[in-house]
Amino acid sequence: MKRISALYFFCILTAFAFAQRPAADEIKTSKGSLTIQPVLHAAMVLTWDKKTIYVDPYDNEKAFAGLAAPDYILITDIHPDHLDLKTLNKLETAKAKLIVPVAVAEKLPDELKTKSLVLTNGQSFTENGITFTAIAMYNLPEEKDAMHVKGRGNGYVLNMGGKNIYISGDTEDITEMRLLKNIDLAFVCMNLPYTMDIHQASSAVLEFKPAIVYPYHYRGKDGMSDTEAFKKLVNAGNKDIDVRLRNWYPEYK
């Protein structure tokens, strides 16, 4: 009887997560579809060629109910909305490889540290047809007491199936972002006072010209950034950039 009750409770949780979670997007690649599942804040799940990538899993494991266990987990920075040890410890990570900056690796428990590959800004790693490249993410102006100092965290560019996917992490409109080339999908943060505003974000996007851009990580100290205004700014400058607005703040609790 207890087993039936537990199974019933799990099914209810899974169904609730599915109901709250925004629909996944699919992007065609040279080797099947890339599925993009927004989860929460900076968290997302990418699936391609039977491999599942979690990015900054956050909040609690219920947010990931019904999704495949990760083959890779990317973590961008040490702050708890990116490095959420409570969530990491409850996820199924038996087959997972964590890709992290040095500062994150230093904070991982031993069990997860042994599963980790450390990348510093500029370094790359290729496995299973996926290339992971770490790039800079930081605040402007560069100050020692900034919330995000240069070199501590990683943004990432992933290449899979001929597509380049940029994940900004916590950053402002830095030179390294503006110089990006041939980006097919970009996930760009915008939340004050931690990263940048919609004007900085749109200016950078108009410079590096991704084919598709998702505003994400847009909850700030005083509420949500105006992503509709961000979309208008981008499309006023370049109508060919596909700005996709998704709900990155569903209620799982």
- pLDDT digits 0-9 by tens, 193-209: 999 999 999 999 999 99
CB 71 within 8 A of CB 64: no
* Cβ neighbours of 39 (radius 10 Å): 24
In CATH terms, the superfamily for domain 24-243 is Ribonuclease Z/Hydroxyacylglutathione hydrolase-like (3.60.15.10)
Q: Please give the pLDDT value at position 69.
A: 97
Give the 3-state secondary structure of residue 197: coil
Question: Does residue 20 register a pLDDT over 90?
Answer: no
**Where in the chain are the domains?**
24-243
Q: Which residues pair with 26 in a beta bridge?
A: 35
pTM (2 d.p.)? 0.92
Question: Does residue 65 register a pLDDT over 80?
Answer: yes
Q: Please give the pLDDT value at position 252.
A: 55
Q: How far apart are CA 97 and CA 153, in angstroms?
A: 18
pLDDT (tens digit, 9 = 90+) per residue, 205-228?
999 999 999 999 999 998 999 999
Helices (H), 106-243: 110-113, 175-178, 198-208, 227-237
Exposed e or buried b per residue across 212-235, where buried means at least 16 C-beta atoms within 10 angstroms of its C-beta: bbbbbbbbeeeeebebeebbebbe
